């Protein structure tokens, strides 16, 4: 998947615990994104990054934070996981960030919050 590695691939956690998902890319792309995929909602943007230490919110950012200390790594943190955050999380990357640019997606992380 275009040099994108998401970890872990599967995680089960309990309500109220912190969770961090990692996205690692080997493409040296400037832009990175976190989406969540839920039945009936498609994919929704949580946060994105346009460079090291440069991040911005997407449409469903409440309850999530992100960090990007290196070009290749983009972390998504659920400070206190809730059952509504049970979802499949996808990381994506793009090179220039133009509106008509192709996104490359990772294989996803299945997160279950019990």
Partner 1 sequence: QQQVKQSPQSLIVQKGGISIINCAYENTAFDYFPWYQQFPGKGPALLIAIRPDVSEKKEGRFTISFNKSAKQFSLHIMDSQPGDSATYFCAASSLETSGSRLTFGEGTQLTVNP
**Binding site residues, partner 1, CB under 8 A:** 1, 4, 31, 33, 35, 40-45, 48, 50, 56, 58-59, 90, 92, 94, 97-103, 105-108
Distance of closest approach, residue 91 Cβ to partner 1, in angstroms: 8
Contact criterion met (CB below 8 Å) for 34 and 76:
yes
Half-sphere exposure of 21 (CA within 13 A, CB side): 33
Closer residue to partner 1 (CB): 16 or 51: 51
Closer residue to partner 1 (CB): 14 or 101: 101
Closer residue to partner 1 (CB): 17 or 75: 75
Contact criterion met (CB below 8 Å) for 31 and 48:
yes
Q: How far apart are CA 32 and CA 48, in angstroms?
A: 6
């Amino acid at each position: 998947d275009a040099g994108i590695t998401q970890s872990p691939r599967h995680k089960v956690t309990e309500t109220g615990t912190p969770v961090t998902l990692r996205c690692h890319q080997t493409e040296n792309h400037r832009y990175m994104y976190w989406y969540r995929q839920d039945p009936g909602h498609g994919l929704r943007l949580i946060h994105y990054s346009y460079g090291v230490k440069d991040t911005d919110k997407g449409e469903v950012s409440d309850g999530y934070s992100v960090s990007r200390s290196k070009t290749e790594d983009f972390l998504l943190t659920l400070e206190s996981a809730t059952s509504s955050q049970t979802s499949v999380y996808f990381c994506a990357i793009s090179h220039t960030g133009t509106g008509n640019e192709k996104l490359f997606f990772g294989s996803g992380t299945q997160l279950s919050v019990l």
